[in-house]
């Protein structure tokens, strides 16, 4: 039975880049090689460079602890999309010399060893050819491991040392894996328990019966035994290379006027949309990358309420250039290259015109887009709901077709916010009003949160002569924001009030002044 399992194990080649997230960040941000760098996710170090590790920084440390150990540490937010995007040229380079590459994670990929070994005359020769094809990418040296199964091959790649290539002979994976610690399995929940049971190496784990491990730990135990025994039969599933949907145009000599660049980009925009249409797709999110002759790059992701047409793409390029240029359509530096990349795509069948043409919404969209094209990106805005406590804070105006960026989210809890139903009329500038007692004195709130007297009269203009009787009222509800900041702190008390005419108001008492924030029509 053991022999049949061994026959199912596939010889695999794994290519691995040490510290790939750091490599991708250095390449994107052009950071010096000797600068200590740490990638931080949710306030915790996700990855760090060798220079940072030399000063005691390690994965899992909180950011402040890492900075205290290494004061010169460069802290960069971790971007998983950047990792994947930076690894794409590596996969493309490998596919030029041999098909069948499977990405495991950014920085690591695996191939079946049989095809490359037969073509290049052996497994070591195939590994050397893999390293040779990556020499022009200006990346640090990769490591290659060859063994029975992807797991053993990856461990071989991680233990190459200065040789850069390590080949484990067929059938030698169990002996190679035996001295490795159980943490190499990557089973975070199972590793501490195995150590408490006295199983510190993969050899200790492989010496136990498979059935006992499955009965004690379930499928995770059987997986751990399979990997530790060198019997990893995980299939290598080649990826389907992505279609080349992005388009780029280079200018020689570089162009220094916005109108020149946008005119030249028209043909590229049409090719970009035509390529998507041929693939049965439409673009709903577009990334425009503009590079000038000095090497500086401007990137922006544009969103669209429906889909990008060729004129829409040209408009986004022009708006992005105008954001970096001057009023007279000149640019700070001549533009050498423009690239268009679809960030989000959708099936073209979801955006086909109706049987009888477009409806009212379609005409509105085309009209607003036309006005925006003539007047500029921020000339046409639409209202969206953001987060906040006051009704006026939740009103956010964004350019037509965009989504709010950097705006507080409405779905998060906002203690002290106004409960439903929301008022229908919100004043852009709160209106001064008067809230009076029966004797005509202004109502105030004590430090204990109690009103000094019942509310009896209300003036929507703030003048006592316009005061009218109050039918009912509720409150106060205290709101205190940014109490730790003397310049931005705010404290108020909110009330809801219905006057004798039946009109409901949302009022706020800030200090000794009363204001109307909104009206319930």
How much is the pTM?
0.55
Give the Cα separation of 8 and 500 in Å (integer).
85
Sign of CA dihedral 346, 350, 354, 358: negative
pLDDT: is 122 or 295 the higher one?
Answer: 122
* Rounded average pLDDT over 3-18: 74
pLDDT, residue 407, reads: 63
pLDDT in tens, 332-356: 788 999 999 998 888 887 766 554 5
Percent of the chain with pLDDT over 90: 36
Question: Which pair of tokens denotes residue 252?
Answer: 């020689």
C-alpha 46 chain-centroid distance: 15
pLDDT in tens, 477-486: 888 888 888 7
* Of the candidates 179, 148, 147, 142, the residue with the CA atom closest to the CA atom of residue 163: 142
Predicted confidence (pLDDT) at residue 153 exceeds the cutoff of 90:
yes
pLDDT, residue 4, reads: 37
Q: Is 201 helix (H, G, I), strand (E, B) or coil?
A: strand
Give the Cα separation of 201 and 195 in Å (integer).
9
pLDDT in tens, 418-432: 777 778 888 888 899
Give the Cα separation of 120 and 110 in Å (integer).
17
Predicted confidence (pLDDT) at residue 51 exceeds the cutoff of 60:
yes
Binning pLDDT at 50, 70 and 90, where does residue 360 land? very low
pLDDT: is 282 or 511 the higher one?
Answer: 282
Predicted confidence (pLDDT) at residue 296 exceeds the cutoff of 70:
yes
């Amino acid at each position: 039975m053991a022999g049949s399992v061994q026959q199912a194990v596939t010889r695999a080649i794994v290519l691995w880049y040490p510290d790939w997230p750091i490599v991708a960040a250095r390449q994107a941000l052009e950071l010096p090689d000797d600068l200590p760098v740490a990638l931080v996710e949710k306030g915790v170090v996700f990855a760090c460079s060798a220079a940072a590790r030399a000063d005691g920084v390690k994965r899992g440390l909180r950011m402040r602890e890492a900075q205290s150990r290494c004061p010169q540490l460069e802290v960069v937010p971790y971007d998983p999309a950047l990792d994947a995007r930076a690894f794409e040229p590596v996969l493309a380079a490998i596919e030029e010399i041999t098909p069948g590459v499977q990405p495991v994670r950014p920085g690591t990929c695996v191939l079946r060893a049989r095809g490359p070994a037969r073509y290049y005359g052996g497994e070591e020769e195939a590994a050397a050819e893999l390293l040779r094809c990556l020499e022009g990418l200006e990346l640090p040296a990769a490591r290659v491991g060859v063994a029975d199964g992807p797991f053993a091959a990856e461990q071989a790649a991680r233990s190459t040392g200065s040789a850069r290539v390590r080949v484990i002979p067929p059938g030698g994976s169990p002996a190679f894996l035996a001295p490795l610690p159980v943490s190499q399995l990557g089973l975070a929940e199972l590793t501490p328990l195995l150590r408490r049971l006295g199983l510190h190496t993969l050899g200790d784990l492989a010496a136990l019966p498979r059935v006992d491990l499955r009965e004690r730990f379930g499928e995770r135990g059987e997986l751990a035994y399979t990997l530790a025994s060198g019997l990893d039969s995980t299939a290598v599933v080649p990826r389907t290379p992505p279609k080349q949907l992005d388009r780029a145009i280079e200018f020689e000599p570089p162009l220094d006027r916005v109108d020149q660049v946008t005119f030249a980009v028209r043909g590229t925009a049409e090719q970009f949309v035509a390529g998507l249409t041929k693939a049965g797709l439409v673009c709903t999110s577009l990334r425009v990358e503009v590079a000038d002759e000095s090497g500086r790059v401007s990137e922006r992701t544009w969103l669209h309420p429906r889909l990008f047409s060729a004129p829409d793409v040209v408009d986004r390029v022009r708006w992005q250039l105008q954001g970096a240029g001057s009023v007279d359509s000149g640019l700070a530096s001549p533009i050498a290259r423009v690239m268009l990349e679809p960030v989000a795509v959708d099936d073209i069948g979801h955006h086909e015109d109706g049987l009888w043409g477009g409806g009212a919404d379609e005409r509105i969209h085309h009209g607003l887009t036309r006005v925006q094209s003539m007047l500029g990106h921020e000339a046409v805005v639409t209202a969206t709901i953001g987060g906040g406590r006051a009704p006026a804070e939740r009103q956010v105006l964004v350019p037509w077709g965009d989504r709010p960026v950097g705006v507080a989210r409405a779905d998060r809890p906002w203690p002290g916010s106004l409960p439903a139903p929301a008022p229908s009329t919100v004043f852009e500038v709160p209106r001064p009003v008067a809230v009076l007692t029966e004797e005509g004195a202004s109502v105030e709130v004590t430090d204990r949160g109690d009103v000094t007297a019942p509310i009896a009269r209300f003036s929507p203009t703030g003048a006592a002569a316009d005061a009218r009787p109050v039918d009912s009222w509720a409150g106060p509800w205290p709101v205190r924001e940014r109490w730790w900041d003397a310049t931005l702190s705010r404290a108020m008390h909110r009330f809801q009030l219905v006057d004798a005419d039946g009109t409901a108001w949302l009022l706020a008492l800030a200090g000794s002044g009363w204001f109307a924030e909104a009206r319930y029509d």
